[in-house]
Amino acid sequence: MKNTEKDRLNNQTEKRYLWKRFGNGCRETFKNPIKLVILIAFPVLMLGLHTKYGDMLRFDEVKYVSPIFLLLIRNIIPILMIGGTVFLLILFGTPTGSAKFSDEFARIGFTNHAGEVPVLIARQKDKTNRDITIYEFDGMGIPLADWESKRQSIEAALNIHIVKLSEGRNKRNILFHAVPASGQLSDCIEWNDSYLVQDTSSLVFGKNLTGSNVMVNLAKIPHILLGGSTGSGKSVLLKLLLMQALKKNCIVSIADFKGGVDYLKVWHDKCQICFDEDALIPLLTELVAELEWRKTVFRETGCANLDMYNQQSGNNLQRHIFACDEVAEILDKTGLTKEQKEKVSQIESKLSVIARQGRAFGIHLILATQRPDATIIPGQIRNNIDCRVCGRADNVLSQIILDSTAAADQIPKDAAGRFMLHDGTVFQAYWFDDAKLGG
Protein backbone atom coordinates (compact mmCIF):
# COMPACT_ATOMS: atom_id res chain seq x y z
CA MET A 1 0.00 0.00 0.00
CA LYS A 2 1.38 3.44 -0.94
CA ASN A 3 2.47 5.77 1.84
CA THR A 4 -0.07 8.42 0.81
CA GLU A 5 -2.87 5.89 1.10
CA LYS A 6 -1.56 4.73 4.47
CA ASP A 7 -1.39 8.32 5.67
CA ARG A 8 -4.96 8.92 4.58
CA LEU A 9 -6.18 5.82 6.42
CA ASN A 10 -4.17 6.73 9.51
CA ASN A 11 -5.69 10.21 9.52
CA GLN A 12 -9.18 8.72 9.27
CA THR A 13 -8.38 6.35 12.12
CA GLU A 14 -7.06 9.15 14.33
CA LYS A 15 -10.21 11.22 13.76
CA ARG A 16 -12.50 8.26 14.47
CA TYR A 17 -10.56 7.35 17.59
CA LEU A 18 -10.71 10.98 18.78
CA TRP A 19 -14.50 10.97 18.46
CA LYS A 20 -14.68 7.63 20.25
CA ARG A 21 -12.60 8.94 23.12
CA PHE A 22 -14.82 12.04 23.31
CA GLY A 23 -18.00 9.92 23.42
CA ASN A 24 -16.45 7.52 25.91
CA GLY A 25 -15.40 10.49 28.04
CA CYS A 26 -18.99 11.76 28.15
CA ARG A 27 -20.17 8.36 29.36
CA GLU A 28 -17.34 7.95 31.87
CA THR A 29 -17.87 11.42 33.32
CA PHE A 30 -21.46 10.71 34.27
CA LYS A 31 -20.42 7.40 35.84
CA ASN A 32 -17.60 8.90 37.92
CA PRO A 33 -18.53 11.61 40.48
CA ILE A 34 -14.96 12.92 40.73
CA LYS A 35 -14.67 13.38 36.96
CA LEU A 36 -18.09 15.05 36.91
CA VAL A 37 -17.04 17.52 39.62
CA ILE A 38 -13.84 18.36 37.70
CA LEU A 39 -15.76 18.85 34.46
CA ILE A 40 -18.26 21.20 36.15
CA ALA A 41 -15.60 23.05 38.18
CA PHE A 42 -13.41 23.86 35.18
CA PRO A 43 -15.93 25.97 33.18
CA VAL A 44 -17.19 27.57 36.39
CA LEU A 45 -13.61 28.63 37.17
CA MET A 46 -13.11 29.92 33.64
CA LEU A 47 -16.37 31.86 33.77
CA GLY A 48 -15.23 33.41 37.05
CA LEU A 49 -11.97 34.46 35.44
CA HIS A 50 -13.84 35.89 32.47
CA THR A 51 -16.12 37.90 34.74
CA LYS A 52 -13.20 39.25 36.78
CA TYR A 53 -10.65 39.92 34.07
CA GLY A 54 -12.73 40.10 30.90
CA ASP A 55 -12.71 43.89 30.79
CA MET A 56 -8.91 43.91 30.79
CA LEU A 57 -8.97 42.07 27.44
CA ARG A 58 -11.37 44.45 25.72
CA PHE A 59 -8.80 46.45 23.73
CA ASP A 60 -9.88 49.31 21.55
CA GLU A 61 -9.11 49.13 17.88
CA VAL A 62 -5.33 48.98 17.45
CA LYS A 63 -3.76 50.16 14.25
CA TYR A 64 -2.18 47.43 12.11
CA VAL A 65 -3.70 44.67 14.29
CA SER A 66 -6.22 42.35 12.71
CA PRO A 67 -9.80 42.68 14.04
CA ILE A 68 -9.99 38.86 14.07
CA PHE A 69 -6.94 38.70 16.37
CA LEU A 70 -8.50 41.28 18.69
CA LEU A 71 -11.73 39.28 18.73
CA LEU A 72 -9.79 36.17 19.73
CA ILE A 73 -7.99 38.06 22.53
CA ARG A 74 -11.28 39.43 23.89
CA ASN A 75 -12.78 35.93 23.97
CA ILE A 76 -9.68 33.98 24.93
CA ILE A 77 -11.16 32.79 28.24
CA PRO A 78 -14.43 31.41 26.72
CA ILE A 79 -12.36 29.78 23.97
CA LEU A 80 -10.08 28.19 26.57
CA MET A 81 -13.15 27.11 28.54
CA ILE A 82 -14.68 25.30 25.55
CA GLY A 83 -11.38 23.83 24.39
CA GLY A 84 -10.42 22.77 27.90
CA THR A 85 -13.79 21.07 28.45
CA VAL A 86 -13.41 19.12 25.21
CA PHE A 87 -9.83 18.22 26.18
CA LEU A 88 -10.99 16.96 29.60
CA LEU A 89 -13.68 14.79 28.01
CA ILE A 90 -11.16 13.29 25.59
CA LEU A 91 -8.73 12.76 28.48
CA PHE A 92 -11.41 11.08 30.61
CA GLY A 93 -12.34 8.89 27.65
CA THR A 94 -8.77 7.69 27.05
CA PRO A 95 -8.20 4.46 29.01
CA THR A 96 -4.87 4.10 30.78
CA GLY A 97 -2.38 1.96 28.95
CA SER A 98 -3.89 2.46 25.50
CA ALA A 99 -0.53 3.49 23.96
CA LYS A 100 1.22 0.53 25.59
CA PHE A 101 -1.37 -1.88 24.21
CA SER A 102 -0.96 -0.48 20.70
CA ASP A 103 2.82 -0.82 20.97
CA GLU A 104 2.56 -4.45 22.10
CA PHE A 105 0.17 -5.29 19.24
CA ALA A 106 2.65 -3.76 16.80
CA ARG A 107 5.52 -5.81 18.29
CA ILE A 108 3.73 -9.11 17.65
CA GLY A 109 2.58 -8.01 14.19
CA PHE A 110 -1.13 -7.99 15.06
CA THR A 111 -2.33 -5.51 12.44
CA ASN A 112 -4.86 -5.19 9.65
CA HIS A 113 -3.86 -5.03 5.98
CA ALA A 114 -3.24 -1.29 6.29
CA GLY A 115 -0.75 -1.90 9.09
CA GLU A 116 -3.06 -0.44 11.75
CA VAL A 117 -3.11 -1.98 15.23
CA PRO A 118 -6.25 -2.37 17.39
CA VAL A 119 -6.88 0.56 19.72
CA LEU A 120 -8.01 0.27 23.34
CA ILE A 121 -11.12 2.43 23.70
CA ALA A 122 -12.37 1.39 27.15
CA ARG A 123 -11.42 -0.68 30.19
CA GLN A 124 -13.36 -1.33 33.35
CA LYS A 125 -13.73 -3.82 36.17
CA ASP A 126 -16.34 -6.52 35.79
CA LYS A 127 -19.22 -5.67 38.13
CA THR A 128 -19.80 -9.33 39.01
CA ASN A 129 -16.13 -10.20 39.59
CA ARG A 130 -13.65 -7.48 40.51
CA ASP A 131 -10.72 -9.74 39.61
CA ILE A 132 -11.71 -9.49 35.95
CA THR A 133 -10.92 -6.46 33.78
CA ILE A 134 -13.01 -5.92 30.65
CA TYR A 135 -11.07 -4.43 27.73
CA GLU A 136 -12.85 -3.01 24.68
CA PHE A 137 -10.90 -2.48 21.46
CA ASP A 138 -11.60 -0.94 18.11
CA GLY A 139 -10.54 -4.03 16.18
CA MET A 140 -9.64 -2.06 13.04
CA GLY A 141 -11.52 -4.56 10.92
CA ILE A 142 -9.65 -7.59 12.30
CA PRO A 143 -12.27 -10.36 12.64
CA LEU A 144 -12.88 -12.24 15.89
CA ALA A 145 -11.47 -15.44 14.39
CA ASP A 146 -8.08 -13.74 13.95
CA TRP A 147 -8.14 -12.62 17.59
CA GLU A 148 -8.83 -16.23 18.59
CA SER A 149 -5.97 -17.56 16.48
CA LYS A 150 -3.59 -14.98 17.99
CA ARG A 151 -4.91 -15.44 21.50
CA GLN A 152 -1.75 -16.92 23.00
CA SER A 153 0.47 -14.28 21.41
CA ILE A 154 -1.83 -11.51 22.71
CA GLU A 155 -1.80 -13.02 26.22
CA ALA A 156 2.00 -13.19 26.20
CA ALA A 157 2.39 -9.65 24.83
CA LEU A 158 -0.04 -8.09 27.33
CA ASN A 159 0.93 -10.40 30.24
CA ILE A 160 -2.66 -11.45 30.91
CA HIS A 161 -4.94 -14.48 30.77
CA ILE A 162 -7.97 -13.95 28.53
CA VAL A 163 -10.99 -15.49 30.23
CA LYS A 164 -13.49 -14.63 27.50
CA LEU A 165 -13.16 -13.18 24.02
CA SER A 166 -16.19 -11.86 22.12
CA GLU A 167 -17.56 -9.17 19.83
CA GLY A 168 -18.63 -5.91 21.47
CA ARG A 169 -21.51 -3.60 20.69
CA ASN A 170 -20.89 -4.23 17.02
CA LYS A 171 -18.64 -6.39 14.86
CA ARG A 172 -15.99 -3.70 14.77
CA ASN A 173 -15.45 -3.72 18.54
CA ILE A 174 -13.78 -6.62 20.34
CA LEU A 175 -14.20 -7.35 24.05
CA PHE A 176 -12.13 -9.54 26.24
CA HIS A 177 -12.41 -10.35 29.91
CA ALA A 178 -8.97 -10.90 31.40
CA VAL A 179 -7.08 -11.50 34.63
CA PRO A 180 -3.39 -10.87 35.39
CA ALA A 181 -0.98 -13.55 34.18
CA SER A 182 0.03 -14.14 37.80
CA GLY A 183 -3.29 -15.93 38.34
CA GLN A 184 -2.73 -19.58 37.40
CA LEU A 185 -5.03 -22.58 37.48
CA SER A 186 -4.11 -25.33 39.92
CA ASP A 187 -3.10 -28.63 38.37
CA CYS A 188 -5.48 -30.49 40.70
CA ILE A 189 -8.52 -29.27 42.64
CA GLU A 190 -10.16 -31.94 44.75
CA TRP A 191 -13.94 -32.06 44.81
CA ASN A 192 -15.75 -31.08 47.97
CA ASP A 193 -19.49 -31.47 48.45
CA SER A 194 -19.66 -27.80 49.42
CA TYR A 195 -19.19 -27.05 45.70
CA LEU A 196 -22.52 -28.72 44.94
CA VAL A 197 -25.06 -26.18 43.62
CA GLN A 198 -28.37 -26.29 45.45
CA ASP A 199 -30.77 -26.06 42.51
CA THR A 200 -31.85 -29.33 40.92
CA SER A 201 -30.61 -28.67 37.39
CA SER A 202 -27.09 -27.19 37.65
CA LEU A 203 -23.93 -29.29 37.44
CA VAL A 204 -20.46 -27.94 38.27
CA PHE A 205 -17.43 -28.64 36.04
CA GLY A 206 -14.58 -26.94 37.90
CA LYS A 207 -12.90 -23.57 38.52
CA ASN A 208 -11.90 -21.00 35.92
CA LEU A 209 -9.00 -18.54 35.98
CA THR A 210 -10.86 -16.17 38.32
CA GLY A 211 -11.57 -18.91 40.84
CA SER A 212 -15.27 -19.01 39.98
CA ASN A 213 -17.24 -22.19 39.44
CA VAL A 214 -17.90 -23.17 35.84
CA MET A 215 -21.25 -24.90 35.50
CA VAL A 216 -24.12 -25.79 33.21
CA ASN A 217 -27.84 -25.48 33.91
CA LEU A 218 -29.53 -28.48 32.30
CA ALA A 219 -32.89 -26.69 32.37
CA LYS A 220 -31.45 -24.23 29.84
CA ILE A 221 -28.68 -26.22 28.12
CA PRO A 222 -29.88 -29.81 28.33
CA HIS A 223 -27.13 -31.92 26.77
CA ILE A 224 -23.34 -32.10 27.11
CA LEU A 225 -20.67 -33.28 24.67
CA LEU A 226 -17.27 -34.08 26.22
CA GLY A 227 -14.12 -34.56 24.18
CA GLY A 228 -10.53 -35.27 25.06
CA SER A 229 -7.67 -37.57 24.26
CA THR A 230 -6.56 -40.48 26.45
CA GLY A 231 -5.40 -39.18 29.84
CA SER A 232 -7.09 -35.78 29.46
CA GLY A 233 -9.37 -36.42 32.45
CA LYS A 234 -12.52 -36.78 30.36
CA SER A 235 -13.78 -39.90 32.17
CA VAL A 236 -13.15 -38.35 35.60
CA LEU A 237 -15.12 -35.25 34.57
CA LEU A 238 -17.98 -37.44 33.30
CA LYS A 239 -18.11 -39.27 36.64
CA LEU A 240 -18.02 -35.93 38.47
CA LEU A 241 -21.12 -34.80 36.59
CA LEU A 242 -22.92 -38.10 37.13
CA MET A 243 -22.11 -38.05 40.84
CA GLN A 244 -23.71 -34.61 41.15
CA ALA A 245 -26.75 -35.83 39.20
CA LEU A 246 -27.18 -38.71 41.63
CA LYS A 247 -26.93 -36.37 44.61
CA LYS A 248 -29.69 -34.29 43.00
CA ASN A 249 -31.93 -37.38 42.83
CA CYS A 250 -31.64 -37.80 39.07
CA ILE A 251 -32.07 -41.20 37.45
CA VAL A 252 -28.74 -42.05 35.80
CA SER A 253 -28.21 -44.60 33.03
CA ILE A 254 -24.78 -45.41 31.62
CA ALA A 255 -23.77 -47.15 28.40
CA ASP A 256 -20.35 -48.75 28.79
CA PHE A 257 -19.34 -51.13 26.03
CA LYS A 258 -16.06 -51.89 27.81
CA GLY A 259 -17.79 -54.30 30.18
CA GLY A 260 -18.25 -51.89 33.07
CA VAL A 261 -14.67 -52.27 34.31
CA ASP A 262 -14.22 -48.50 34.55
CA TYR A 263 -17.10 -48.25 37.03
CA LEU A 264 -16.81 -49.49 40.60
CA LYS A 265 -19.56 -51.61 42.14
CA VAL A 266 -21.15 -48.54 43.74
CA TRP A 267 -22.02 -47.22 40.25
CA HIS A 268 -23.72 -50.49 39.40
CA ASP A 269 -25.76 -50.20 42.61
CA LYS A 270 -26.85 -46.62 41.98
CA CYS A 271 -27.22 -46.58 38.17
CA GLN A 272 -28.50 -48.73 35.35
CA ILE A 273 -25.49 -49.76 33.27
CA CYS A 274 -25.76 -51.57 29.94
CA PHE A 275 -22.91 -53.27 28.11
CA ASP A 276 -24.15 -53.96 24.54
CA GLU A 277 -26.67 -52.94 21.89
CA ASP A 278 -29.21 -55.55 22.97
CA ALA A 279 -29.46 -53.93 26.41
CA LEU A 280 -29.07 -50.35 25.19
CA ILE A 281 -31.94 -50.34 22.68
CA PRO A 282 -34.60 -51.23 25.31
CA LEU A 283 -33.12 -48.64 27.70
CA LEU A 284 -33.32 -45.86 25.11
CA THR A 285 -36.79 -47.08 24.07
CA GLU A 286 -37.93 -46.60 27.67
CA LEU A 287 -36.44 -43.11 27.79
CA VAL A 288 -38.20 -42.09 24.56
CA ALA A 289 -41.47 -43.56 25.88
CA GLU A 290 -40.99 -41.58 29.11
CA LEU A 291 -40.41 -38.46 27.03
CA GLU A 292 -43.62 -39.03 25.07
CA TRP A 293 -45.60 -39.66 28.27
CA ARG A 294 -44.27 -36.47 29.83
CA LYS A 295 -45.09 -34.60 26.65
CA THR A 296 -48.73 -35.66 26.96
CA VAL A 297 -48.96 -34.91 30.68
CA PHE A 298 -47.32 -31.48 30.36
CA ARG A 299 -49.62 -30.58 27.48
CA GLU A 300 -52.72 -31.60 29.46
CA THR A 301 -51.63 -29.61 32.52
CA GLY A 302 -50.49 -26.58 30.53
CA CYS A 303 -46.89 -26.85 31.72
CA ALA A 304 -43.97 -25.85 29.51
CA ASN A 305 -41.23 -27.77 31.29
CA LEU A 306 -40.34 -30.14 34.11
CA ASP A 307 -39.78 -27.49 36.78
CA MET A 308 -43.13 -25.85 36.05
CA TYR A 309 -44.90 -29.22 36.17
CA ASN A 310 -43.33 -30.20 39.50
CA GLN A 311 -44.16 -26.82 41.00
CA GLN A 312 -47.79 -26.79 39.85
CA SER A 313 -48.59 -30.46 40.44
CA GLY A 314 -46.67 -30.96 43.66
CA ASN A 315 -45.13 -34.08 42.12
CA ASN A 316 -41.41 -34.74 41.97
CA LEU A 317 -40.70 -36.11 38.53
CA GLN A 318 -37.00 -36.86 38.35
CA ARG A 319 -34.56 -35.83 35.66
CA HIS A 320 -33.13 -38.66 33.57
CA ILE A 321 -29.45 -38.58 32.58
CA PHE A 322 -28.16 -40.92 29.89
CA ALA A 323 -24.37 -41.01 29.72
CA CYS A 324 -21.85 -42.71 27.47
CA ASP A 325 -18.13 -42.66 28.18
CA GLU A 326 -17.12 -43.44 24.58
CA VAL A 327 -19.97 -42.81 22.17
CA ALA A 328 -17.85 -43.99 19.23
CA GLU A 329 -18.00 -47.53 20.61
CA ILE A 330 -21.78 -47.35 20.17
CA LEU A 331 -22.21 -45.40 16.93
CA ASP A 332 -19.29 -46.59 14.79
CA LYS A 333 -20.68 -48.71 11.92
CA THR A 334 -17.29 -49.64 10.47
CA GLY A 335 -17.07 -53.37 9.71
CA LEU A 336 -20.55 -54.17 11.01
CA THR A 337 -23.02 -56.59 9.49
CA LYS A 338 -26.33 -55.37 8.09
CA GLU A 339 -28.14 -56.48 11.23
CA GLN A 340 -25.65 -54.70 13.48
CA LYS A 341 -25.91 -51.51 11.42
CA GLU A 342 -29.70 -51.61 11.81
CA LYS A 343 -29.25 -51.74 15.59
CA VAL A 344 -26.89 -48.77 15.50
CA SER A 345 -29.43 -46.88 13.36
CA GLN A 346 -32.11 -47.55 16.00
CA ILE A 347 -29.79 -46.21 18.69
CA GLU A 348 -29.01 -43.11 16.59
CA SER A 349 -32.70 -42.48 16.03
CA LYS A 350 -33.58 -42.64 19.72
CA LEU A 351 -30.62 -40.49 20.76
CA SER A 352 -31.68 -37.96 18.14
CA VAL A 353 -35.22 -37.78 19.57
CA ILE A 354 -33.84 -37.15 23.06
CA ALA A 355 -31.32 -34.58 21.75
CA ARG A 356 -34.07 -32.64 19.96
CA GLN A 357 -36.84 -32.82 22.54
CA GLY A 358 -35.33 -33.73 25.90
CA ARG A 359 -34.79 -30.28 27.42
CA ALA A 360 -38.34 -29.39 28.44
CA PHE A 361 -39.07 -32.90 29.71
CA GLY A 362 -35.98 -33.33 31.87
CA ILE A 363 -34.25 -36.05 29.83
CA HIS A 364 -30.60 -35.30 29.12
CA LEU A 365 -27.58 -36.69 27.27
CA ILE A 366 -23.95 -36.57 28.36
CA LEU A 367 -21.87 -38.05 25.55
CA ALA A 368 -18.09 -38.35 25.63
CA THR A 369 -15.60 -39.25 22.93
CA GLN A 370 -11.88 -39.32 22.24
CA ARG A 371 -12.20 -40.33 18.61
CA PRO A 372 -11.24 -37.56 16.15
CA ASP A 373 -13.79 -38.65 13.56
CA ALA A 374 -16.49 -36.24 12.45
CA THR A 375 -18.66 -39.07 11.08
CA ILE A 376 -19.03 -40.84 14.44
CA ILE A 377 -21.58 -38.44 15.94
CA PRO A 378 -24.39 -37.71 13.44
CA GLY A 379 -25.22 -34.07 12.84
CA GLN A 380 -28.81 -34.48 14.03
CA ILE A 381 -27.44 -35.40 17.48
CA ARG A 382 -24.37 -33.18 17.59
CA ASN A 383 -26.20 -30.06 16.39
CA ASN A 384 -28.64 -30.31 19.29
CA ILE A 385 -25.92 -30.44 21.95
CA ASP A 386 -25.08 -26.86 22.87
CA CYS A 387 -22.77 -27.47 25.83
CA ARG A 388 -19.40 -28.56 24.41
CA VAL A 389 -16.38 -29.30 26.59
CA CYS A 390 -12.97 -30.30 25.25
CA GLY A 391 -9.82 -31.28 27.08
CA ARG A 392 -6.39 -32.04 25.69
CA ALA A 393 -6.96 -32.84 22.02
CA ASP A 394 -5.56 -32.64 18.52
CA ASN A 395 -6.84 -30.14 15.95
CA VAL A 396 -9.40 -32.56 14.51
CA LEU A 397 -11.05 -33.52 17.80
CA SER A 398 -11.04 -29.91 19.00
CA GLN A 399 -12.72 -28.89 15.73
CA ILE A 400 -15.37 -31.60 16.15
CA ILE A 401 -16.20 -30.64 19.73
CA LEU A 402 -15.74 -26.84 19.72
CA ASP A 403 -15.93 -25.97 16.01
CA SER A 404 -12.41 -24.56 16.39
CA THR A 405 -8.88 -25.72 17.18
CA ALA A 406 -8.85 -23.64 20.38
CA ALA A 407 -8.49 -26.62 22.74
CA ALA A 408 -5.56 -27.98 20.75
CA ASP A 409 -3.92 -24.55 20.74
CA GLN A 410 -4.51 -23.49 24.33
CA ILE A 411 -4.52 -26.61 26.50
CA PRO A 412 -1.00 -27.94 27.23
CA LYS A 413 -0.27 -31.38 25.86
CA ASP A 414 0.62 -32.70 29.31
CA ALA A 415 -2.42 -31.20 31.08
CA ALA A 416 -4.85 -33.49 32.88
CA GLY A 417 -8.22 -32.18 33.98
CA ARG A 418 -7.81 -28.94 31.98
CA PHE A 419 -10.77 -28.21 29.69
CA MET A 420 -12.25 -25.54 27.50
CA LEU A 421 -15.95 -24.72 27.31
CA HIS A 422 -17.75 -23.90 24.06
CA ASP A 423 -17.60 -20.17 24.88
CA GLY A 424 -13.80 -20.21 25.27
CA THR A 425 -13.73 -20.48 29.07
CA VAL A 426 -10.73 -22.50 30.27
CA PHE A 427 -11.13 -24.34 33.57
CA GLN A 428 -9.60 -27.01 35.77
CA ALA A 429 -12.12 -29.76 36.42
CA TYR A 430 -12.58 -30.93 39.98
CA TRP A 431 -10.89 -34.23 40.68
CA PHE A 432 -13.39 -36.73 41.99
CA ASP A 433 -12.56 -40.07 43.62
CA ASP A 434 -15.51 -42.29 42.76
CA ALA A 435 -14.51 -44.66 45.57
CA LYS A 436 -16.14 -42.04 47.85
CA LEU A 437 -19.44 -42.12 45.96
CA GLY A 438 -21.00 -44.54 48.41
CA GLY A 439 -19.97 -42.41 51.37
What's the half-sphere exposure (Cβ side, CA atoms, 13 Å) at 256? 18
Shared domain for 174 and 200, answered yes or no, is no
Shared domain for 80 and 105, answered yes or no, is no
Distance CA(309)–CA(294), nearest Å, equals 10
User: Nearest-5° angle of CA 98, CA 99, CA 101?
Assistant: 65
Shared domain for 143 and 240, answered yes or no, is no
β-strand pairing of 363-369 with 426-431: unpaired
- Total domains in the chain come to 3
Distance CA(339)–CA(342), nearest Å, equals 5
Question: Position 213: which residue type?
Answer: N
Shared domain for 220 and 318, answered yes or no, is yes
Full-model pTM: 0.71
Task: List all residues 6 or more positions away from 269 whose beta carbon is below 8 Å from its beta carbon.
Answer: 438
Distance CA(113)–CA(380), nearest Å, equals 39
CATH number, position 155: 3.30.980.10
Shared domain for 115 and 238, answered yes or no, is no
Residue that terminates a domain, selected from 59, 78, 94:
94
Shared domain for 125 and 10, answered yes or no, is no
Shared domain for 301 and 325, answered yes or no, is yes
Domain span at 406:
189-436
Please, are residues 205 and 225 in contact by the beta-carbon 8 Å criterion?
no
Shared domain for 134 and 49, answered yes or no, is no
Shared domain for 165 and 112, answered yes or no, is yes
CATH number, position 291: 3.40.50.300
Question: How many other C-beta atoms can be found within 10 angstroms of the C-beta atom of residue 321?
Answer: 26
Report the helix count and the strand count for the chain, using DSSP H and E. 16, 15
Please, are residues 386 and 221 in contact by the beta-carbon 8 Å criterion?
yes
DSSP class of 252:
E
Shared domain for 254 and 375, answered yes or no, is yes
Residue that terminates a domain, selected from 59, 74, 94:
94
Reading the chain (439 residues) residue by residue, the pLDDT tens digits are 555 766 666 666 667 667 777 777 787 787 778 888 888 888 888 777 767 766 665 555 555 556 666 666 666 777 777 888 888 887 777 777 788 888 999 999 999 887 888 888 888 888 877 778 899 888 888 999 899 888 888 988 988 888 888 888 788 889 988 888 766 778 889 999 899 998 889 999 999 888 889 999 999 999 999 999 988 999 999 999 999 999 999 999 999 887 777 888 889 999 999 988 899 999 999 999 999 999 999 999 999 999 999 999 988 899 999 999 888 888 888 888 999 999 999 999 999 999 999 999 999 999 999 886 767 888 889 899 999 999 999 999 999 899 888 888 888 888 889 999 988 888 999 998 887 776 5
Shared domain for 65 and 112, answered yes or no, is no
Helices 76-92 and 67-74: angle between axes, nearest 10 degrees: 60
Residue that terminates a domain, selected from 149, 183, 217:
183
Find residue 179's DSSP bridge partners: 161
Please, are residues 332 and 342 in contact by the beta-carbon 8 Å criterion?
no
Q: Tell me the DSSP string of 30-79.
A: HH-HHHHHHHHHHHHHHHHHHHHHGGGG-PPP-TTS-HHHHHHHHTHHHH
Shared domain for 366 and 389, answered yes or no, is yes
Task: List all residues 6 or more positions away from 215 whose beta carbon is below 8 Å from its beta carbon.
Answer: 197, 202, 203, 204, 205
